[in-house]
Amino acid sequence: MDVAKILAELKSEREQIEEAILSLERLARGRTRGRGRPPAWMTELDAPKRRGRPPGSKNKVQAGATAKTVAVA
């Protein structure tokens, strides 16, 4: 085995590991809620926002109640 080749491979692996560590540190820093709009790369990671009434809300629409009000008018 060539020692120079082994050193070159180890150095390239070290660079890849350092890049991975930096990106993970950036993600960990970004998880805290800061001021303003989050960057675009973070919004791509989040799940899409759900719209409409949340499940279990108090103001539920009842089908029978709307029919009674229409019949009275």
The phi-psi region of residue 64 (left if phi > 0; otherwise alpha if psi is between -120 and 50; otherwise beta) is alpha
Q: How far is CA 42 from CA 11, 12, 16, 30, 31, in A?
A: 30, 28, 22, 8, 9
Q: Write down the pTM of the prediction.
A: 0.39
> What is the pLDDT averaged over residues 43-72?
65
Domain membership flag for residue 37: no
pLDDT tens for each residue of 36-52: 787 777 766 666 667 77
Domain membership flag for residue 9: yes
pLDDT tens for each residue of 6-30: 999 999 999 999 999 998 988 888 7
How many structural domains comprise the chain?
Answer: 1
Domain membership flag for residue 26: yes
Domain membership flag for residue 7: yes
For residue 68, the model assigns a pLDDT of 52
Domain membership flag for residue 8: yes
Q: Which domain holds residue 4?
A: 1-31
DSSP state of 70: H
